Amino acid sequence: MIGFFLTRLFSALLVVFGVTLIVFLLLHLVPGDPVEVMLGEMAQPADREALRHALGLDLPLWQQVLNSFGQLLRFDFGQSLFTKQPIVEMLAERIPATVQLALAGLAVALVLAFPLGILAALNRGSRWDYGAMTFSLLGVSIPNFWMGPLLILFFSVMLGWFPVSGKEGFASLVLPALTLGTALAAILSRMIRATLIEVLGEDYIRTARAKGMSEAVVILRHALRNALLPTITLIGLQLGTLLAGAVITEAVFSWPGLGQLTIDSIHRRDYPVVQACILLISVTYVVVNTLTDLVYGWLDPRIRLAGRAS
């Protein structure tokens, strides 16, 4: 188990390093100059060079990379080029909103996925099954940047039930949570259906029915409980996806979280803030996936043996 843990930890650190390096290089390839954004187009060349030197942007790219990694190893994210505010404070202000949106999206996904998956499995080949799978197909196919405006157009503009954007209480959370949760609900419902159909064909299910147990007890106590292991694993793997998908959803609904901060910082060419936001999202994604992998390996020894053999 220790070797399995060390292997997964090394893989996670390698992914984080690669993501950080790629993000840093891509940001410096994006057209635009943060100095020009900060000073304006009418600034004097001497002022621009002075500010560029003060920010360290006149150094060679490889030296900027080394300086950036040196700061990250000291857990020092630095300051925003645009606001001069410590990046740690900026992240601390935005993280609660993103976590709130991600948890709300997960709740929506669970509320939708479990009834649809169970109904589809119990009524295989029926209209319920086709309807649930059609919903899954639509949920996976429709991207967040299209689902969000559709919900705004119908529920906000036409019906006036919810705010169009912003964070103004529970009502403003409904549409972003629906946008973020429907895609995950589609994936989970398909997984629940597939695993439950497989479990319902096992011998112990037939034995439970032969003993005279009610169908509800057979489904909830025996079948569903044994079908939850791959579903729980999928939920853990998709938690990081919720954070990544929140970037687009927050931009659509102007939700004041990490995603909105990332978009705003890209527009300002605020390199340190963008790098810190993407690094935090990627680290969260990697940590959640690694923990899920470790828990699954602990529950199922075959995963550990397969990882050791590879």
DSSP state letters, 164-192: SSS--STHHHHHHHHHHHHHHHHHHHHHH
Bridge partners (DSSP) of residue 86 are: 79
Residue 192 to residue 12: CA distance in whole angstroms: 28
Residue 87 included in any domain: no
205 shares its domain with 110: yes
- The string of pLDDT tens digits covering residues 168-179 is 778 888 888 888
pLDDT of residue 309: 47
Residue 111 to residue 190: CA distance in whole angstroms: 14
Backbone φ, ψ for residue 129 (5° rounding) = -65, -50
**Overall number of domains in the chain:** 2
pTM exceeding 0.75? no
What percent of the chain lies above the pLDDT cut of 90? 0
62 shares its domain with 191: no
47 shares its domain with 150: no
| pLDDT surpasses 80 at 231 | no
**Nearest 5 degrees, angle CA 231-CA 232-CA 236?**
115
Residue 226 included in any domain: yes
- The string of pLDDT tens digits covering residues 254-285 is 888 888 888 888 777 777 788 788 878 777 77
